[in-house]
């Protein structure tokens, strides 16, 4: 235990409540993480003290608020080691980041007959925007299959890359299984074929230190709400050379240079992609979340979560009928499982009555469910505020639920 878990739990007020008369055990962190007081206070603080529309006014509040907003952008840039904060585009979340990219990159660079490579383990939000693009522009989508143990079939990936490929968009970490994909290798292979790569970091950003320059990824997208920040904020990181060439996504205020009915010119990066008043309070909250994560230390968080994951894996394996879905050596703290022949909905419903928050269903990854020929799984996903005691309680609850449903 690298850090004081009691102190950390005290930072998250939501954790100390009861659900259905039982102490809450929150194991749905891959869906969204809880927020520390530092983040809640930062966002509320905006409305209490500096609320004002940013980049607009000459007055004091507007200047302070703008400064806090841009300060958060610098924090994000530093957090992922972007070359410049101009490469950080704020969005509503990962989903909007992917939609922005598929639209702007697609409208700028793609034509009929071009190909985009995705994988079978993508979240729907990294599938459907590309399908919309495919319909719009006659682009073909190629899919890297997943092996039985839940890894990408890298041989097929190599074969799919060809002179028609224009972009590869792949999850850093599977939201269902927790598999860490070999993104360095994917990027190297793609770049060797002159193809840029987007990494969906929604499930990675709060678990692993991410260095976009070292990764050499062309685009990297993630959400605030999965990294202990407020909901409604996301990031699209893009290399300047791509972002500068790309057409804007949405039109409106802020993203323009000059507007007239004979023609409008667009603002510089990053504003070109940030039409309208952004969620500045959320962005400032995101900055506070980054401060908080850095205080705890990403390496320490990774070590703690990994220990908890290994412990949970070992203990959960002892439950009769336990079947893990997707077990690879390279893994984050996510366990997707099935309990005997029980339906995930039944397992999740009974666990809820015992105070556990777990996710059940297809996890917005129906192609992956089809791949494994299952309708869904139960997913336990851990964060650094979870404890071994909570895992023990889950195992106890699973034994009870298993015997009720068998």
Say whether residue 405 binds another protein (CB under 8 A): yes
Active site residue ranges: 364
Applying CB under 8 A, the span of 202-210, 232-240, 267-275, 348-356 interacting with another protein comes to: 348-356
CA 116 → CA 119, 137, 200, 216, distances in Å? 10, 12, 15, 19
Q: Contacts with another protein in 8-67 (CB under 8 A)?
A: 20
Strands 25-26, 115-119: pairing kind: unpaired
For helices 298-316 and 388-405, what crossing angle results, to 10°? 30
Say whether residue 400 binds another protein (CB under 8 A): yes
Nearest Cα to Cα of residue 246 among 215, 229, 269: 269
Binding mask 293-332 for another protein (x = CB under 8 A): ----------------------------------------
Say whether residue 353 binds another protein (CB under 8 A): yes
Q: Where are the alpha helices (DSSP H) in 54-137?
A: 60-79, 94-109, 128-137
Interface pick for another protein out of 60, 257, 349, 396 (rule CB under 8 A):
349
Q: How many residues make contact with another protein (CB under 8 A)?
A: 18
Q: In the numeric block, which tokens belong to residue 256?
A: 């323009």
CB closer to another protein, 10 vs 369 = 369
Give the containing element (helix H, strand E) for 171.
strand 165-171
Q: Contacts with another protein in 205-234 (CB under 8 A)?
A: none
Say whether residue 342 binds another protein (CB under 8 A): yes
Binding mask 360-379 for another protein (x = CB under 8 A): xxx------------xx---
Taking the CA of residue 189 as centre, how many other CA atoms within 13 Å lie in the half-sphere pointing to its CB? Answer: 17
In whole angstroms, what is the distance from residue 357 CA to residue 350 CA? 10
CB closer to another protein, 141 vs 364 = 364
CB closer to another protein, 241 vs 353 = 353
Burial of 379 (C-beta count, 10 Å sphere; 0-12/13-18/19+): buried
Applying CB under 8 A, the span of 25-33, 159-167, 336-344, 378-386 interacting with another protein comes to: 336-344
Say whether residue 155 binds another protein (CB under 8 A): no
Q: Contacts with another protein in 123-142 (CB under 8 A)?
A: none
Burial of 9 (C-beta count, 10 Å sphere; 0-12/13-18/19+): middle
Interface pick for another protein out of 350, 383, 391, 394 (rule CB under 8 A):
350
Return the residue matching tokens 């996510």: 334
Q: At a CB cut-off of 8 Å and minimum separation 6, what does 79 contact?
A: 210, 290, 293, 294
Q: How far is the CB of 321 from another protein (least distance, A)?
A: 15
Q: How far is the CB of 387 from another protein (least distance, A)?
A: 24
Applying CB under 8 A, the span of 64-72, 129-137, 313-321, 343-351 interacting with another protein comes to: 343-351
In whole angstroms, what is the distance from residue 157 CA to residue 89 CA? 29
Applying CB under 8 A, the span of 84-92, 164-172, 236-244, 359-367 interacting with another protein comes to: 359-367
**Binding residues vs another protein (CB under 8 A):** 20, 342-346, 349-350, 353-354, 360-362, 375-376, 400, 404-405
């Amino acid at each position: 235990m690298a850090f004081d878990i009691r102190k950390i739990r005290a930072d998250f007020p939501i954790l100390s409540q009861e659900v259905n008369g039982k102490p809450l055990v929150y194991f749905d962190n891959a869906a969204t993480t809880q927020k520390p007081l530092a983040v809640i206070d930062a966002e509320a603080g905006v409305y209490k003290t500096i609320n004002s529309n940013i980049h607009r006014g000459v007055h004091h509040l507007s200047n302070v608020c703008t400064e806090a907003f841009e300060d958060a952008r610098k924090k994000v840039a530093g957090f992922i080691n972007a070359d410049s904060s101009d490469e950080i585009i704020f969005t509503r979340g990962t989903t909007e980041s992917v939609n922005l990219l598929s639209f702007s990159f697609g409208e700028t660079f793609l034509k009929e007959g071009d190909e985009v490579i995705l994988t079978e383990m993508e979240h729907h939000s990294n599938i459907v925007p590309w399908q919309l693009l495919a319909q719009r522009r006659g682009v073909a989508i190629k899919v890297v299959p997943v092996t039985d143990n839940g890894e990408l079939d890298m041989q097929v990936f190599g074969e799919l890359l060809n002179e028609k490929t224009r972009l590869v968009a792949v999850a850093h970490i599977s939201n269902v299984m927790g598999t860490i994909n070999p993104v360095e290798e994917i990027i190297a292979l793609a770049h060797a074929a002159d193809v840029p790569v987007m990494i969906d970091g929604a499930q990675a950003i709060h678990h692993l230190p991410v260095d976009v320059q070292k990764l050499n990824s062309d685009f990297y997208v993630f959400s605030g709400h999965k990294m202990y920040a407020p909901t409604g904020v996301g990031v699209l990181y893009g290399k300047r050379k791509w972002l500068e060439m790309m057409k804007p996504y949405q039109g409106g205020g802020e993203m323009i240079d000059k507007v007239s009915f004979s023609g409008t010119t667009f603002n510089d990066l990053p504003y070109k992609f940030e039409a309208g008043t952004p969620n500045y309070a959320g962005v400032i909250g995101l900055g506070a979340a980054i401060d908080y994560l850095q205080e705890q230390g990403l390496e320490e968080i990774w070590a703690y979560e990994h220990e908890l994951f290994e412990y949970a894996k070992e203990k959960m394996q002892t439950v009769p009928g336990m079947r893990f879905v997707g077990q690879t050596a390279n893994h984050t703290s996510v366990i997707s499982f099935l309990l005997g022949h029980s339906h995930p909905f039944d397992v999740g419903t009974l666990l809820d009555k015992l105070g556990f928050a777990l996710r059940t269903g297809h996890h917005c990854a129906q192609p992956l469910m089809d791949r494994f020929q299952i309708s869904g799984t139960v997913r336990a996903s851990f964060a650094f505020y979870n404890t071994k005691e909570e895992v023990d309680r889950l195992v106890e609850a699973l034994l009870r639920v298993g015997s009720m449903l068998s």
